[in-house]
Amino acid sequence: MKKVNSINLLVLLTMLPSMAYSLELDVKVSELRYEGDKQPHELVEKTLVGHLHAPSFRINTPRANFVLKNNFEFSGAIFRKDNWLILDNDMFELTYSINDIPKFDKIRFADFKNLSLFTDDLSLNLMGERGEFHFDESTFLIENIDFDCGLENNIIDGSESIIESCLNNSTISKFDKNESNTHIVFNSGLTQTSFRLEDLKVREKELLIKAQNLAVANDTFIVGTETVSLECPKNHYQKDFNDKLAVATCLERASIHAPRIVFEAPDNDMRGEVEVEKLISNGKRMHFLGPYVSIVNGEQTIEFSNLDAFCKLPPLGQGFEYNHLIHGCMDSSAIVLNQFNMNDAKGHVKVESASLKFLGDRLRLETPDINIWRDGSQYRIKNISYSCKNIPFSGGFENQQIAEGCFEESIGSIEDFSMEDANSAIVLKTANLNVNKNKLIFNAPVLTFLDTLGSLKVDFVQPSIECSRVNTEDISAENILRGCFDSSKINVQSIDIKHERIDSEIQIKEVSIDKRELRFNSPKGKYVLNGFDNVYKNFKVNCALNASYDVAKNYDWESILENCLHSTKIKLDSLQSIYNGDSTMRKFGNAVKNFGIKGVNKVTFDSSSVDGTDFKLNISPEVFSFIPIHVTINGNIYYLRGEKKIVMDVKNTYFYKIIPARFLVQLILNAFVADENIEVDDNKIIINIPVEDKN
């Protein structure tokens, strides 16, 4: 093909600015390459920066027409010298000031292959095989593109309005119908976005996008979807258009479809996928329907099925901000899911048919079934219903605001709660939780503790727990637990104990536990041991725990036990033993008991000595029912950590100068306790603490 050899081209191009009241330009570029990353000192002299090959070139104006004939090809080199761009085809030079080409100095690299450009006073069309731009901080690649844009002015007279025109009247489709869809890649330096565009229509009042293989990636995350479509209304976009107003206008009637979205954050070891059946809005509310959602974070996997969410939209006019979407959702919304699963190395959580609703000033959570398997324990809860105060949003979204509302005011109930591990279980038929001004109150008709071996059952009748959140600035889980530990109060109306050898009914007036002290007050109670009813009156226990939350959360019960042993005060008015057999044997049983310890009166125990190891026990046992005895027993009490034993070392105390005090204590223990974990060795009374072997 011949190269163009005419001075007319130079003359025509230099005349264009003065003739541009009517213009038609049609150029086909087989290859163009430009390298603009030269340093200033490299451009002092005329420097080669690229080349241009154009097999077709046509310019029509009212005063002149120029057409490159079919058997010719325009071919030339591109040079730079200082701020001048020079096109040289060996026969002529076209020199143009870079300062007159908007943002040309930002181009670091350009590469075109088989692209055609056509423009006249009303339209701009770019189509072809490939085009690539590199700018200072970004790159842009297009492949197989057919771009049409309606213009209000031609590209010379209306150069400033080209972008605005295309933002309001343009279409993109693929150039070669036999090839894959238009490929677009944009890299901003921090984030790369790529997709294959099936269809794009931008009109004055409407936006339609259909794309495939959308991927957005940066150093911290990757998001992708196989297909996505968006259809929504739009306002008039200007060159520097308001993205917030554009989003607000779109939400007036938006429809988004993305059957499967995948994401990954490698630095945080997170990945997942979201199936979007539909996401629509009508200007008043937004509706999201997701058949499946999965999130994997390290060893933890979270799955939702059939997630259905409605959300109220905020006003969508001038002044719209993105955080207003959160405000609207927090004011009125509903989230319903069919099933929720969470798995990690420690266990599994399964929730059936949960719903979360924001209704003005209230937040409500309901679910019929929760199952939790954690560290060898299983928790089951039926019919949870919980309502919280919904604090209005005054500014940006605060991730603690929901929790603040729940801790300021909330109320809820559960049914059929159970917690089981290898050795025990806790069961609640119903329970209520009430929170008001940072004070929590929990109560239930009956709380049952079961030994899974079947030997022990304890029913706590009408238990209630109160605790306060002292530090209202921090609502972390640790702060809440620390506040409850510091200010808890536990009350139980009565306790029923059933054991293979013990039945009991205990009335409790007060059980109060905090980090400083344990207080136990039981006006009366009864327990059955070896065929005898043991009835007591006014049993009180006080001990200084001197514990900290950190000790408690680390399950350092031995430190708490040691503190209590050295600061305990016990008072018992009376303990009587009565045979509970049938009428024939009752008199015989009571007679047998009369030959041993029938009861004890006026018992006091005090280990709160100055050195913290001494104890003093005052007791008045009823021996043989007619011998009055009052004895004071002194000794030391301590705990052996390695052997898990409490040792009471009784001093050589005698009553009636012949009977050792330890013998009396042994008789009392055998009569009223009779536990295989208690033994007497010479002057020592040893209590073995049964501890599960963790190894």
Token digits of residue 369: 């079934």
First to last CA, the chain: 88
Q: Measured between alpha carbons, how far is 64 from 20 in angstroms, rounded to an integer? A: 11
pLDDT band at 143 (very low <50, low <70, confident <90, very high): very high
Res 469 pLDDT > 90 = no
pLDDT tens digit sequence for 145-186: 999 998 887 666 555 678 788 889 999 999 888 888 999 998
Q: Measured between alpha carbons, how far is 297 from 269 in angstroms, rounded to an integer? A: 6
pLDDT tens digit sequence for 271-302: 999 888 888 998 888 888 889 889 898 888 98
Local structure of 561: helix, strand or coil: helix
Q: Which of 342, 336, 339 is nearest to 358 (CA)?
A: 336
- The residues facing 135 across adjacent strands are 107
Asked whether 31 and 102 are in contact (CB, 8 A), the reply is no
Q: ∠ at Cα 304 (417, 268), nearest 5°? A: 105
Q: Please give the pLDDT value at position 405.
A: 72
pLDDT tens digit sequence for 218-235: 888 889 998 989 999 988
CB atoms within 10 A of CB 52: 19
Token digits of residue 365: 């959570």
Highest mean pLDDT among 124-133, 186-195, 493-502: 124-133
- Tell me the average pLDDT across 51-74: 82
Asked whether 505 and 496 are in contact (CB, 8 A), the reply is yes
- Tell me the average pLDDT across 592-601: 63
Amino acid at 105: D
Q: ∠ at Cα 375 (374, 378), nearest 5°? A: 45
- The residues facing 21 across adjacent strands are none
**DSSP code for 176:** S
pLDDT tens digit sequence for 83-112: 888 888 877 788 888 877 666 778 889 999
Q: Measured between alpha carbons, how far is 32 from 111 in angstroms, rounded to an integer? A: 6
**DSSP code for 393:** P
Asked whether 386 and 362 are in contact (CB, 8 A), the reply is no
Question: 23: which residues sit within 8 A by CB, 6+ positions away?
Answer: 16, 59, 60, 61, 119, 120, 121, 154, 155, 156, 157
Amino acid at 230: L
pLDDT tens digit sequence for 520-549: 888 888 887 767 788 889 999 888 877 666
φ, ψ (nearest 5 deg) of residue 478: -65, -40
Lowest mean pLDDT: which of 296-300, 513-517, 561-565?
A: 513-517
Q: What is the largest CA-CA distance in the chain?
A: 141
CB atoms within 10 A of CB 299: 10
Indicate the average pLDDT of the chain.
79
Question: 173: which residues sit within 8 A by CB, 6+ positions away?
Answer: 146, 182, 197, 198, 199, 200
Question: 139: which residues sit within 8 A by CB, 6+ positions away?
Answer: 132, 133, 185, 186, 187
Q: Please give the pLDDT value at position 695.
A: 45
Q: Measured between alpha carbons, how far is 57 from 29 in angstroms, rounded to an integer? A: 9
- Tell me the average pLDDT across 343-370: 85
Q: Measured between alpha carbons, how far is 345 from 626 in angstroms, rounded to an integer? A: 65
Token digits of residue 637: 């009490």
Res 31 pLDDT > 90 = yes
Q: Measured between alpha carbons, how far is 662 from 683 in angstroms, rounded to an integer? A: 6
